[in-house]
Amino acid sequence: MAKIFADDKTFVDKPTLKPVSQVLSAFAQIGGINATRESLIQFIDENFGEEGEELKPVNITELDMSPQFLTQVSDPLVRAFGHKVNGYWSQLIREQDLSELCSGCISSMLQLKYHFVVPGGRFREIYYWDTYFALEGMLRSGLVNLSQSSIRNLLSLVDQYGFVPNGARVYYLDRSQPPLLTLMVKLYYEFTRDLAFVAEALPLLQREHQYWMQNHSVDVPCGTTGGMVRLSRYFVNTDQPRPESYSDDYELAHNVSKNDSGIQAEIYANMATGAESGWDFSTRWVQDAQAPKDKILETIRTQQVVPVDLNAILYQVEMALAEMNNLLKTSPMEDYQKLASERRQAMEHVMLDEATGLYFDYHLYNHKRASQFVAASIWPYWSFESIDEQQAKRAFTYIAQILDKNPGGIPATLIYSGQQWDWPMAWPPLQYVAMQGALLHKQFSVALRLAQAYVNSVFCAWYMTGGSLVGILEKLPNTTDSGHIFEKFSSAQVGMQGGGGEYNVQAGFGWTNGVLLWALDKFGPQLTAPTC
Ligand SMILES: OC[C@H]1O[C@H](O[C@H]2O[C@H](CO)[C@@H](O)[C@H](O)[C@H]2O)[C@H](O)[C@@H](O)[C@@H]1O
């Protein structure tokens, strides 16, 4: 609450320099929560180390410097950029080394045995859903063992906690993130055909599915049948601010109500639930999206939204679990095929908007389907292999129209709120799913437009921040950096890095690299040189 650091996450990421009992008594000596700002600064200096010092970069030997898929990228500039990005993995692979912590010292990191990929910047730890999108690139870059190690870390978290936490920190233990672990194992299997690994993972994947069914299911009234259908939502059980954004959550809750701890607890739970969705934060989760920017999160109701993307993911998870059990000739813990088809039917009833061919969230707070497009509306096209052709045409015509106005990619929503999962932010995972959906439903021209927009955004933002390619592309004059790969982009202006939300835009960046390399593989012969 003293805001010693611009970003609340900085403090909770610092390991102690002394045994925890000594740190606590030093804190008591300066007056505990009544300490002055000056004494707090000194206390932190004396008792805490640098954030991230328990992590070491890893010297990766298996990186393929000339991966085969890049040879079919016809444009020389795009191909050279692909090689550059392929080389960036070495900056994002880490191992944990807790050995330098003194005896009795503590760190907020969850122990991970194997090497892993991090998003980059302030995100120093492994993140759950980010890993899926990074893997799409890592596997193509020849990082097969590292991909397996990253997945193994997540599996071991399921083993220890029964689910995959948001990220590998103790403060993420009250929530998960979009459940993509089963799809990571599937992806890994498609690349390696390593059935033994699937066999090893399957019991834990089934356990994770059980966790989602037990803690995140909700009954939704179904207009067309008059009965109820079961779907899933994000749901975090907490009555405390998120430690990594403590002062933000605290101030928000106290703005809504100064004294009512019940109302404050509701806000904390809905904020943590927003973080579980991966979309932290967005007007998608608020009841009053028209509120002024500084009040927009005051009506956050994430737990009252039944999200399209979560259900689209779980449908794929259920199909994949059925398929894995088939492949291994093992008896499934559940009839996954049946669960998937019931989920699909429920989604068609509750979420499908016939007019646009898109799927919308369902709002439990007013028992209505949302009426606004969000980028998640297209996710069933990634999950459902067969969808009526005319419906798909309508949906991707809608997407094409959004692209006409947003040359940098599909924005998270169409509403400007200053939140990072709203217009104009175009996020790599959202572009990936839109491209996958378009490919699967044979909407090739929209798929290519999405791919070109994505490549343009990533490339131009990198170029504008000093990126260059030996013998091919000169560095822009007046740039001091050497090119950044951002976590998100502006859909409104090609080459503009993203912004908004609780922290400064981060560079690195795991999922951006992953989706870029995947897109170069899928669309290599057709992509043209970006003009920035
Ligand atoms: O510290 C604020 C929040 O930051 C994370 O969210 C964002 O970054 C993640 C890592 O790239 C990404 O997975 C997520 O979609 C982003 O919105 C974190 O996941 C949140 O829990 C945290 O509160």
Find, among 147, 63, 150, the residue nearest to 113 by Cα.
150
The contacts of residue 459 (CB under 8 Å, 6+ apart) are 78, 81, 467, 530, 532
The answer to the question of residue 297 being in a domain is no
For ligand 1, atom 11: residue with the closest CA: 119
- Residue 498 is assigned to a structural domain of this protein: yes
Q: What would the pLDDT profile of 259-302 be if each residue is shown by its tens digit?
A: 999 999 999 999 999 999 999 999 999 999 999 999 999 999 99
pLDDT digits (tens, 9 = 90+) for 112-133: 999 999 999 999 999 999 999 9
* Candidate from 7, 110, 127 with most ligand 1 atoms within 8 A of CB, to mutate: 127
Ligand 1: centre distance to CA 280 (Å): 7
With respect to residue 96, please indicate whether it lies within any of the assigned structural domains.
yes
Verify that 40 and 82 share a domain, yes or no.
no
User: How many helices and strands, by DSSP H and E, does the chain display?
Assistant: 17, 12
Which ligand 1 atom is the nearest neighbour of the CA of 119? Answer: 11
Question: Of 194-198, 338-342, 444-448, 506-510, which range is least confident?
Answer: 506-510
Shared domain for 34 and 128, answered yes or no, is: no
Looking only at Cα atoms, what is the longest distance across the chain?
A: 70
| Ligand 1 nearest atom to the CA of residue 420, by list position | 17
One domain for residues 137 and 84: yes
Residue to mutate, 117, 171, 234, 280, ligand 1, most ligand atoms under 8 Å from C-beta = 280
Within a domain: residue 91? Answer: yes
User: 366, exposed or middle or buried, with CB in 10 Å at 0-12, 13-18, 19+?
Assistant: exposed
Q: How do 55-57 and 305-306 pair as beta strands?
A: unpaired
Q: By C-alpha distance, which of 375, 383, 341, 347 is closest to 362?
A: 347
Mark whether 334 and 388 lie in a shared domain.
yes
- The alpha carbon of residue 269 and the mean position of all alpha carbons in its chain are separated, in whole angstroms, by 19
Query: Is residue 155 domain-shared with residue 29, that is, in the same domain?
Result: no
In a domain, 530, yes or no: no
- What is the three-class DSSP state of 305? strand
Three-state secondary structure of 333-389: CCCHHHHHHHHHHHHHHHHEECCCCEECCEECCCCEECCCCEHHHHCHHHHCCCCCH
158 and 20 both lie in a single domain: no
- Are residues 141 and 42 both part of a single domain? no
Q: Is it the case that residue 99 has pLDDT exceeding 90?
A: no
Please check whether residues 125 and 17 belong to one and the same domain: no
Three-class SS of residue 419? coil
Choose between 499 and 74: higher pLDDT: 74
Residue 79 has pLDDT above 80, yes or no: yes
168 close to 108: Cβ distance less than 8 angstroms:
no
Atom number in ligand 1 closest to CA 427? 15
Considering the candidates 280, 361, 422, 521, report the single residue annotated as catalytic.
280
What local confidence, expressed as pLDDT, does residue 279 receive? 98
| Euclidean distance between the first and the last CA atom of the chain, given in angstroms as a whole number | 42
Does some domain include residue 529? no
pLDDT value, residue 385 = 96
Q: Is 340 found in the same domain as 463?
A: yes
| Mean pLDDT across 426-433 | 98
Instruction: Assess whether 487 carries a catalytic annotation.
Output: yes
Q: Please state the rounded mean pLDDT for residues 157-176.
A: 98
Task: Indicate if 33 and 121 belong to the same structural domain.
Answer: no
Q: With cut-offs at 50, 70 and 90, classify the pLDDT of residue 176.
A: very high
Backbone angles phi, psi at 182, to 5 degrees: -60, -40
In terms of domains, do 379 and 516 share one? yes
> Do 21 and 64 belong to one domain?
no
| Per-residue pLDDT tens digits for 216-226 | 999 999 876 77
Is 90 exceeded by the pLDDT of residue 502?
A: no
Domain residues for the domain of 371 are 55-235+305-523
Q: Is position 531 within any domain? A: no
In this structure, what CATH number is given to the domain that contains residue 461? 1.50.10.10
Q: Does the residue 262 lie in any domain?
A: no
Q: What total of structural domains would you count in the chain?
A: 2
Task: Respond yes or no: is residue 50 known to be catalytic.
Answer: no
Q: Percent of the chain beyond pLDDT 90?
A: 95
Q: 430 and 412 in contact (C-beta within 8 Å)?
A: yes
C-alpha to C-alpha distances, 351 to 106, 204, 251, 345, 370, nearest whole angstrom:
46, 30, 34, 10, 8
pLDDT category at 507 given cuts 50, 70, 90 is: confident
Query: Strand, helix or coil at 57?
Result: strand
pLDDT band for 326, please (50, 70, 90 cuts). Answer: very high
Pocket of ligand 1 (CB under 6 A): 9, 119, 123, 127, 129-130, 166-167, 242, 244-245, 275, 278, 280, 487, 502-503
